Amino acid sequence: MRARRGAVGAVVAAALLATLGVTTGARAHAVLVRSSPAAGAVLARPPARVELWFAERLERAFTRVVVLDATGARVDQGPEAPVAVGPTAADPRRVAVTLVPLGPGVYTVRYRVLSVDGHVVEGAFAFRVGTAP
């Protein structure tokens, strides 16, 4: 009887661990892993583009990245930019957008992406060109 309870306990524990593993995996959406420029960066020279890397592959058709100046005007060159908006063929987790020439100031990067696991992730961060105030 005691051996049977031990076996049942082991099966229950294994099922619980498997469930926790599935739950944890399901939460691993396309979170932003890194960016160039980095969030909060203060740059002496303006970047030519913004690049974002995510933890999961992205769906190209549902990937949006915009870069705004302090007045809310777009400073990215949009989908027609030389560097594609959306996952690149070389790295389906990378998104890049080309920028117009930037002057000194604070810029906000906003993104909304759909990962291949079907989850939407959105966020924003800022960087500064020129010295901090």
The domains of the chain are located at: 1-28, 31-129
Does domain 31-129 sit in CATH 2.60.40.1220?
A: yes
In this predicted model, what pLDDT tens digit does every residue of 62-102 receive, in sequence order?
A: 889 999 999 999 999 865 443 455 555 678 888 889 999 99
- Sequence-distant (6+) residues with CB within 8 A of 49 are 81, 83, 96, 97, 98, 99
Model-wide pTM > 0.85: no
